[in-house]
Amino acid sequence: MGKDVIIACDFATAADTYGFLDQFTEEKPYVKIGMELFYAEGPDIVRQLKKRGHKIFLDLKLHDIPNTVKKAMTSLSKLDVDMTNLHAAGTVAMMEAAVEGLTRPDGSRPLLIAVTQLTSTDQQRMEDDLLIHEPLEKVVMHYAGNAKKAGLDGVVCSPLEAASVHQTCGDGFLTVTPGVRFADSKADDQARVTTPAKAKEIGSDYIVVGRPITQAEDPVAAYRRCVAEFVD
Ligand code: C5P
């Protein structure tokens, strides 16, 4: 499975996104499109970026009853994205339905990965709001195991959890990891960060990098630096 750097295109409009990506004249980075851009621009943003030759991780984090998620995934399968995701909290039945819905008539499908617990959910909030009293780390590993059981390809997790996920679910189970920063740059609002080189060492399969590239003075150089540390 090829390691890659995915740029989080957290822009509000298609124009901003194209303006940013136009700076890349020699490479076609793998990009992540999230809810902000997708809800603003609709599925056409995906079609246009595919036409421009980018691989796409469509980060919509589906979570609903199995039948609804299955049908939504069928719609997404027609968009020809390379990777998409859902919330493991939707249960194994929901994840199995998602795999079924995402699989095209010819048997192919985009990679499907699960969000375990959001990084914005800490132990206290999980206990007080969700009434889950197990340690957070145990919950994350249990949800990762459920995702594997349902036939998914991997999870979104902190690079610091990538090694444990591989231990629990096997090396072929993908870890897609945000929270990446260069050693000499600021952390922004990310609490637990690692460098691209460290993420490679721990065993992340894909790193998702936003502001260290999108807000850099020279985004192409920052992207190349990520690739040099993580992939090459
Ligand atoms: O700018 P930055 O590199 O922090 O962006 C990271 C991207 O990964 C953002 O799109 C953010 O929403 C996403 N993400 C994250 N932590 C998670 C899941 C997704 O930072 N647990």
Q: Which two tokens stand for residue 140?
A: 């994350």
Least confident of 25-34, 65-74, 145-154, 176-185: 176-185
Taking 90 as the threshold, does the pLDDT of residue 21 lie above it? yes
CA angle 191, 183, 29 (to 5 degrees): 90
DSSP 155: E
Q: Got the DSSP string for 29-60?
A: -EEEEEHHHHHHH-THHHHHHHHTT--EEEEE
Distance of CA 219 to the CA centre of its chain: 20
Q: What's the predicted TM-score (pTM) here?
A: 0.96
- For a ligand 1 pocket test, name from 17, 84, 186, 208 the mutation site with the most ligand atoms within 8 angstroms of its C-beta: 208
Structure tokens at 114: 């699960």
* Per-residue pLDDT tens over the stretch 199-210: 999 999 999 999
Percent of the residues in the chain that have a pLDDT greater than 70, as a whole number: 100
pLDDT number for residue 29 = 98
Span from the CA of 148 to the centroid of ligand 1 (angstroms): 22
Check pLDDT > 90 for residue 189.
Answer: no
User: pLDDT tens digit string along 84-126?
Assistant: 999 999 999 999 999 999 999 999 999 999 999 888 889 999 9
- What are the angstrom distances between the C-alpha of 174 and each of 143, 147, 164, 187, 188? 14, 11, 12, 25, 26
Higher pLDDT: 189 or 89? It is 89
Name the residue at shortest CA distance from atom 10 of ligand 1. 8
Q: How far apart are CA 207 and CA 157, in angstroms?
A: 10
Query: Ligand 1: residues within 6 Å at CB?
Result: 8, 10, 34, 118-119, 156, 178-179, 188, 190, 208-212
Model confidence pLDDT, tens digit, residues 43-65:
999 999 999 999 999 999 999 99
- CB count in 10 Å sphere of residue 142: 14
* Ligand 1: nearest atom to the Cα of 180: 3
DSSP 215: T
**pLDDT value at position 1?**
60
Contacts 24+ apart (CB under 8 A), 119-127: 119/158, 119/178, 119/179, 119/191, 119/192
The CA 32 to ligand 1 mean position distance, Å, reads: 10
Q: Which residues contact 105 (CB under 8 A, 6 or more apart)?
A: none
Q: What mean pLDDT is reported for the chain?
A: 96
